[in-house]
Structure 1
């Protein structure tokens, strides 16, 4: 830091002694300063404990415990001239201890802190409600799962501390390293508090990146979960199909996909079973490479709609899909497919209705394909 000498048009370096040279201590000075003026850390914080030792089966004490404006617990660890080697591990332990704190425990701890601080006339619950800008404690959510934050305060940070802090940040742990520097000019002393990790400019970007990474991780996790469920279902369903009178799927293996298909005797047209979370279906799919061919086959079948539905025994859903290549005829069942207790019922339903679908459409599909070929071979009338 430099002082500007306007008269000489020069800057003069301001002395920056160590805290220890000034006789300041971590407990009686830095901790007290931050407890009384938490805004020095760059945001609105409500200090709810100091030298907190309310952990089961341990005598460890965290320096300061605070709430941020979102109701998250902030674990603040203070060091003076050196961050120390173990500060990150220490704070992580405290965060794990605090992760189980309920709203009631937090309010109780804050009330104890108020009493020890000579403010027993204040109501902890009312202070929290006012700080978070709610109208009632019932509306307040405190210490949601995995939202605990870490804040390290020191004059200097060792390389092992900054390296670990950056790695934790990259893995979604919310933390900040705040560098505190004392300055002396004449008889006046000053304190500068600066966030060095993450830099303020990078913090918003890192939050966005971490949020995106978390979303992608959750999506991948859900995909893998769906794959496992589908594979388990098809293992049971295919085994039951092999033992049934429905011989369509004799050469089909279990799949992680949402469907399994069997040939119909017409190229590009299949009998397909669909397994979904809220709906499962039996389908006839016209998926030849040529859109026009699919529509001609579909139209030939649709011309017999009443006859085919009467033979099947139930109304069917017909999707010509004019602007898409594939056309479908399907019969659905609304059922929670991911509830394994429903699987025996669903498998029986699939076998029964796929057998009906095959008997209903096997021959008409062959005839529709032949009609499609003849239509395409007819000469075009140019008159």
Structure 2
């Protein structure tokens, strides 16, 4: 709520609507925002109004902007109280302009300058102005494929805000929502501009959290163990194998050395080397038996070496394909079962 404090007391200023004030979306609201684009963001430069340089569609972007990093920004305006489906419309526009090059930007900006200044502006002049406005860019900047979006409306429905928050959080998009609230004060039309997503006070924290999440993700990826192992038997030496194939090859080798499946099971985790009653062939029938006898989830067949089972009488043993940081420990234990005649040597990547 907006109040008038002129006379020392609070007097409520009447909230109104664009429709009641006969404010048209394109003629009035869009023109005012275009000429004062800073209310939506200090880092925005309008390069086109009613941009519609698309193939096979007549749709138009209300305002097409560029930020200081040469990233395109779609600005979608609505004078409605719920925002309609503006977020979906803006996403379509963002996808369609994501292929624009810097030359495309220059051409578009030159046309906009010609329109607003009332005199022809050539590409060289537009290029120079654009590069001067951008922050620390080369003579031929690269336009990122990622496109930012600004939604400006009299208000937003929960459908719109929920969608925007979800896209920003899980798909690392940059979508801002700006509420434009009109008020009537003694016949004067006032406009209250509020950035609601992200909240200004939370914007810096949001950036820090995203950077932290990116750092954690990078650390997790770098900590993954990509060690490979060479399996050596009395007759051959394998190529460097990833963990899942190294464990399978090791068990095949110790079995050839006379080690029983029961002995192998004694040095491995109970969940990694399982037995079912056979006789069964490899593949689908074997997996059906594992699901039925061991209670495994039916969609986890990809986690097992079903193509290379280990028959032991009427019992069929199957090896799990996922192994963690203790792989070397288990390989050494298997080697000991074979009295060292089979060895596993790690090959760091």
TM-score w.r.t. length of structure 2: 0.65
Per-residue Cα deviation, 1:269-291 (whole angstroms, up to 9, x for no partner): x96523333xxxxxxxxxxxxxx
Taking the aligned partners of 1:170 and 1:126, their CA distance within structure 2 comes to 36
**For this pair of structures, how many residues does the alignment match?**
262
Taking the aligned partners of 1:88 and 1:31, their CA distance within structure 2 comes to 17
Pair 1:44–1:246, CA change in 2 (3 A): closer
Quote the residue 1:132 is aligned against.
Answer: 134
SS across alignment from 1:245: coil
Quote the residue 1:82 is aligned against.
Answer: 81
Shift of 1:257: 6.4
SS across alignment from 2:166: helix
Taking the aligned partners of 1:137 and 1:82, their CA distance within structure 2 comes to 43
Taking the aligned partners of 2:157 and 2:130, their CA distance within structure 1 comes to 35
Given that 2:75 and 2:151 are in contact with CA atoms closer than 8 Å, whether structure 1 keeps it comes out as: yes
SS across alignment from 1:50: strand
Aligned runs of 1:237-316 on 2, under 5 Å? Answer: 238=231, 241=232, 244-246=235-237, 250-251=253-254, 261-262=331-332, 263=335, 272-277=344-349
Pair 1:251–1:55, CA change in 2 (3 A): farther
Taking the aligned partners of 1:190 and 1:72, their CA distance within structure 2 comes to 31
Shift of 1:128: 1.3
Per-residue Cα deviation, 1:270-329 (whole angstroms, up to 9, x for no partner): 96523333xxxxxxxxxxxxxxxxxxxxxxxxxxxxxxxxxxxxxxxxxxxxxxxxxxxx
Q: Which structure carries more helix by proportion?
A: 1
Taking the aligned partners of 1:208 and 1:31, their CA distance within structure 2 comes to 33
Pair 1:84–1:182, CA change in 2 (3 A): closer
Taking the aligned partners of 2:41 and 2:23, their CA distance within structure 1 comes to 22
Quote the residue 1:24 is aligned against.
Answer: 23
In the alignment, does 2:201 pair up with 1:201?
A: yes
Shift of 1:135: 7.1
Where structure 1 has 5 or more consecutive residues not aligned to the other structure, the ranges are 278-383
In the alignment, does 2:38 pair up with 1:39?
A: yes
Question: Greater shift after overlay, 183-192 or 55-64?
Answer: 183-192
In the alignment, does 2:142 pair up with 1:141?
A: yes
CA RMSD of aligned residues (A): 3.4
Shift of 1:125: 0.9
Taking the aligned partners of 1:3 and 1:26, their CA distance within structure 2 comes to 27
SS across alignment from 1:19: coil
Pair 1:222–1:26, CA change in 2 (3 A): farther
SS across alignment from 2:10: strand
Shift of 1:216: 4.0
Question: Greater shift after overlay, 98-107 or 110-119?
Answer: 110-119
Shift of 1:264: 7.3
Taking the aligned partners of 1:134 and 1:202, their CA distance within structure 2 comes to 27
Taking the aligned partners of 1:179 and 1:222, their CA distance within structure 2 comes to 42
Shift of 1:82: 2.5
SS across alignment from 1:22: coil
Given that 1:125 and 1:137 are in contact with CA atoms closer than 8 Å, whether structure 2 keeps it comes out as: no
Given that 1:85 and 1:160 are in contact with CA atoms closer than 8 Å, whether structure 2 keeps it comes out as: no
Quote the residue 2:278 is aligned against.
Answer: none
Quote the residue 2:274 is aligned against.
Answer: none
SS across alignment from 2:15: coil
Taking the aligned partners of 1:245 and 1:187, their CA distance within structure 2 comes to 93
Shift of 1:133: 3.8
Given that 1:75 and 1:149 are in contact with CA atoms closer than 8 Å, whether structure 2 keeps it comes out as: yes
Q: Which has the larger radius of gyration?
A: 1
TM-score w.r.t. length of structure 1: 0.60
Taking the aligned partners of 2:137 and 2:85, their CA distance within structure 1 comes to 41
